[in-house]
Amino acid sequence: MVTCGLRTIEVARADVEDLRTLGSKTVLYVQGKGKDEKSEYVVVTREVERAIRSYLSTRDSAEDKEPLFTSTSNNSKGKRLSTRTIADW
């Protein structure tokens, strides 16, 4: 969030398939404020990409349509993180 200037709702809505390669850069497509589609993107630094890819490799499942970041709590394990959970970090 910090390195890309993302809002909590943009992080919460991100899916695995939104992390893509565009030319020589890795980007994360986001649903911009007031938009219906994920048509805008932010460039992800190599360090952030490595961290995300490492995180995804530890998950049981990381299919394209699944949330990029999931909960590990007992009540919502594997489900999309809420904006409140992200804000409380």
pLDDT digits (tens, 9 = 90+) for 15-28: 999 999 999 999 99
CB 75 within 8 A of CB 58: no
Sequence-ordered alpha helix ranges (H) in 1-89: 8-13, 46-58, 83-88
> Could you identify the residue written with the tokens 């969030």?
1
pLDDT at 3: 82
Query: What is the set of domains in the chain, with CATH numbers?
Result: 8-88 (1.10.443.10)
Is pTM beyond 0.85? Reply is: yes
pLDDT digit string, tens, across residues 30-82: 998 888 899 999 999 999 999 999 999 999 889 999 999 999 888 888 899 99
